[in-house]
């Protein structure tokens, strides 16, 4: 059996620029990844199987015909590489669903990595990269699983020096928001590009253009931001992706854990971790 981590993705900054002819928007984003997240397990088998376990399993379906990205990733991989072997796949769903931290995209990317390891396919194979791009705009970044700047749809990637080991806290007010609804609520104003500089300075000088729209749809996001912004030792706090999960980077683990405890008393989901 191959086990592969599907770490939570965060957007240190997310600038939405113009709408493209293909219906997507041009983005400029700083992707970073947590040390923790979901977990995918894949094994060769005589008959295919798919199971979802974990604290957020109830929000997903394993019924035939469902559009789970894990199954789409597996189907695309076996078709591309003409794999006749069946697979049993288990998704340990530890991250909240529709929460702006790349859960589905990370799961799909981890599935591709696990299958690549199982069948001796290089992660650098352009065909594997193309599969990832076809599954969704965030999947290529999640396939890399390292700090990058994303442009275009977010899938044109360039590696940047990261902040590995930085204490990180994720907080979700137990609200799911639709990415499509958040984009529909966005005011459409292009507020300019990401600045240059070192990563943390760029992130601090940047913004998440979708945050105001997400707050209008889910006002609890503002409460999370207020708690994180007021926490001791916070270096950067922001909403990730289209929400509703927010993150904060801290100078030390003790400050992170104190903020996590404060958030937990509100009944919010928390994950105290570090950046990869």
Place of tokens 């065909």: 127
Pairing of strands 25-45, 148-151: antiparallel
Interacting residues of 87 by C-beta distance below 8 A, sequence separation 6+? 42, 43, 44, 45, 48, 49, 74, 78, 115, 118
| Catalytic residue selected from 9, 92, 93, 107 | 9
**Residue 31 host element (H or E):** strand 25-45
- Tell me if residue 138 is catalytic: yes
Phi, psi of 5 (to 5 degrees): -70, 145
- Known catalytic membership, residue 9: yes
Tokens representing 48? 């295919």
* b/e code 41-53 from CB counts within 10 Å (16+ = b): bbbeeeeeebebe
The 10 Å Cβ neighbour count of residue 180 is 9
Q: Which of 221, 263, 220, 255 is nearest to 235 (CA)?
A: 255
Tokens of 20: 């493209």
C-alpha span between 226 and 263 (Å, rounded): 11
Active-site pick, 38, 107, 138, 155: 138
Taking phi first (over 0 means left), then psi (-120 to 50 degrees means alpha), and beta for anything else, what does residue 90 get?
Answer: beta
* Biggest CA pair distance of the chain: 55
Tokens of 183: 């984009």
Whether the Cβ atoms of residue 191 and residue 65 lie closer than 8 Å to each other: no
- The set of catalytic residues is 9, 138
């Amino acid at each position: 059996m191959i086990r592969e981590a599907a770490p939570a993705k965060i957007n240190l900054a997310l600038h939405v620029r113009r709408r493209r002819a293909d219906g997507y928007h041009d983005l400029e984003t700083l992707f970073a990844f947590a040390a923790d997240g979901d977990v995918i397990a894949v094994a060769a088998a005589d008959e295919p199987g798919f199971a979802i376990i974990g604290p957020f399993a109830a929000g997903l379906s394993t019924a035939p015909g469902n559009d789970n990205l894990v199954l789409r990733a597996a189907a695309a991989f076996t078709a591309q590489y003409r794999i006749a072997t069946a697979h049993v796949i288990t998704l340990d769903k530890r991250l909240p669903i529709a929460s702006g931290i790349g859960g589905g995209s990370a799961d799909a990317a981890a599935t591709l990595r696990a299958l690549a390891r199982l069948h001796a396919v290089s992660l650098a194979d352009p065909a594997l990269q193309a599969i990832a791009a076809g599954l969704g705009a965030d999947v290529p970044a999640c396939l890399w699983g390292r700090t990058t700047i994303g442009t275009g749809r977010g899938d044109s990637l360039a590696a940047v020096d990261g902040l590995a080991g930085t204490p990180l806290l994720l907080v979700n007010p137990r609200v799911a928001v639709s990415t499509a609804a958040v984009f529909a609520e966005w005011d459409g104003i292009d507020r300019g590009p990401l600045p240059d500089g070192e990563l943390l300075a760029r992130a601090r000088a940047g913004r998440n253009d979708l945050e105001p729209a997400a707050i209008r749809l889910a006002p609890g996001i503002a409460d999370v931001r207020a708690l994180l912004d007021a926490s001791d030792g916070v270096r950067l706090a922001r909403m990730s992706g289209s929400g509703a999960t927010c993150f904060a980077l801290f100078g030390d683990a003790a400050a992170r854990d104190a903020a996590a405890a404060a958030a937990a008393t509100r009944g919010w989901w928390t994950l105290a971790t570090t950046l990869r």
